[in-house]
């Protein structure tokens, strides 16, 4: 009898101990997860829930109706522009050279758009070292332009041509004007992708450093953009912002000319910001750069574009 009484006391103590441990764990989880908050879907629906788990692709919430798993791509982005709905599928053509196809910029851009809940179809006409004047004479490129009703056609000129006054007026500007007419004839809008200067400048041509060359490229692209009322994607200016910040991010490949993966990702973020008039900040798509570096580049691109949007559009 005494033995059973002792066993009963031990059992009660053990249960109380487990209850205390369980209760403590619940308090910790409650403190970590926080209170319920409001979430908005891209469809406009708003609901309340408490986050119990999240990763780059989805968020699990505890709601009044039970557990709910929401893909991040379905959540509305705070401050998202309503000028272009993410629900509308865009058709975009990239025309350029190795600056465009290095790291597959069109694919990086399309993945970024899809990660934000958008829909886009991209196509590319790009050959090594080509100038836009060569695309103007290319049956392949012209057939690409005429094949679809493009929403946007992105033009990227050879890397040094826009930096020289003579080359601008003899090569760059005439080609852009003619391509712009063709793009408009199929209902599209022209976007000029302002490129970046060489890492060490181009000393043989008078540009002592990157900054001098970037300034010349800026003048070249803005000159024709204002003439034909084209949109500018200021990739070069976002590039300059990163370089000026002193961030340890190498935007160039080893040749000091072509973009590294970070450089191409920055370019994609600039294009996204210009087209959607919205920041890509917080996107889970990082192009394998890691969230810290990707978020930094997202912010730099958005700041350069959105703080001076009227300049670029």
What CATH number has the domain bearing residue 48? 2.30.30.100
* 19 assigned to some structural domain: no
CA dist list (Å): 24 to 21, 27, 29, 181: 5, 5, 9, 69
Same domain, 94 and 72: no
Distance of CA 107 to the CA centre of its chain: 11
List, for residues 145-179, the tens digit of each pLDDT value: 998 889 999 999 999 999 999 999 999 999 999 99
The answer to the question of residue 18 being in a domain is no
Tell me the whole-structure pTM to 2 decimals: 0.74
| pLDDT reading at 60 higher than 90 | no
d(CA 103, CA 262): 10
**In this predicted structure, which of 21-30, 68-77, 214-223 has the lowest mean pLDDT?**
21-30
The total number of structural domains in the chain stands at 2
CATH, residue 111: 3.40.50.1110
Task: Output the six-digit token pair for 191.
Answer: 């976007």
Strands 37-40, 46-54: pairing kind: antiparallel
* Half-sphere exposure for 300 (CA within 13 Å, toward CB): 28
Q: What is the pLDDT of residue 255?
A: 97
- Cα–Cα distances in angstroms (integers) from residue 309 to residues 44, 243, 313, in the given order: 26, 21, 6
Q: Which residues of 91-126 are buried (b: 16+ CB within 10 A; e: fewer)?
A: bbbbbbbbbbbbbbbbebbbbbbebbbbebebebbb
Q: What is the pLDDT of residue 106?
A: 98
Query: Does 137 lie in the same domain as 66?
Result: no
Domain, as residue range, for 153: 89-312
Same domain, yes or no, for 65 and 96? no
Residue 64 and residue 145: Cα distance in Å, rounded? 52
Report pLDDT for 82: 37
- CA-atom Rg of the chain in angstroms: 26
Q: Both 124 and 251 in a single domain?
A: yes
Query: Is residue 285 domain-resident?
Result: yes
Q: Is the pLDDT of residue 55 over 60?
A: no
- The pLDDT score that the predictor gives to residue 37 is 58
Label residue 57 by pLDDT band (50, 70, 90).
Answer: low
DSSP bridge pairs for 63: 66
Task: Looking at the structure, tell me whether residues 235 and 159 fall in a common domain.
Answer: yes
The answer to whether residue 184 sits within a structural domain is yes
CA distances from 294 to 25, 40, 175, 264 (A): 35, 24, 34, 11
SS3 309: helix
Euclidean distance between the first and final Cα of the chain, in Å?
Answer: 90
Whether the CB-CB separation of 95 and 263 falls below 8 Å is answered with no
> Which CA distances in Å does 17 have to 3, 7, 30, 254, 258?
21, 15, 20, 62, 64
Owner of token pair 């559009």: 313
């Amino acid at each position: 009898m005494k033995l059973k009484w002792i066993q009963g006391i031990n059992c009660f103590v053990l249960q109380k101990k487990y209850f205390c441990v369980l209760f403590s764990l619940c308090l910790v989880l409650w403190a970590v997860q926080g209170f319920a908050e409001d979430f908005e879907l891209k469809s406009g629906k708003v609901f309340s829930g408490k986050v119990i788990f999240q990763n780059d692709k989805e968020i699990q919430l505890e709601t009044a109706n039970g557990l709910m798993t929401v893909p991040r791509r379905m959540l509305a982005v705070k401050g998202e522009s309503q000028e272009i709905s993410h629900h509308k599928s865009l058709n975009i053509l990239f025309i350029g050279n190795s600056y465009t196809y290095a790291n597959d910029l069109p694919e990086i851009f399309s993945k970024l758009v899809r990660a934000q809940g958008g829909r886009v179809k991209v196509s590319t006409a790009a050959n090594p070292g080509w100038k836009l004047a060569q695309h103007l004479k290319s049956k392949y490129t012209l057939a690409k332009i005429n094949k679809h009703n493009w929403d946007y056609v992105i033009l990227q000129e050879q890397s040094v041509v826009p930096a020289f006054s003579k080359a601008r007026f003899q090569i760059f500007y005439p080609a852009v004007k003619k391509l712009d007419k063709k793009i408009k004839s199929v209902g599209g809008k022209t976007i000029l992708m302002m490129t970046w200067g060489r890492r060490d400048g181009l000393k043989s041509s008078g540009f002592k450093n990157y900054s001098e060359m970037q300034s010349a490229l800026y003048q070249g692209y803005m000159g024709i953009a204002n003439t034909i009322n084209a949109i500018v994607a200021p990739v070069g200016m976002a590039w300059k912002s990163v370089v000026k910040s002193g961030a340890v991010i190498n935007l160039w490949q080893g040749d000091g000319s072509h973009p590294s993966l970070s450089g191409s990702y920055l370019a994609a973020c600039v294009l996204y910001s210009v087209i959607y008039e919205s920041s890509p900040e917080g996107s889970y798509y990082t192009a394998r750069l890691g969230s810290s570096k990707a978020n930094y580049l997202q912010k730099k691109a958005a700041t350069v574009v959105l703080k001076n949007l009227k300049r670029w559009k």
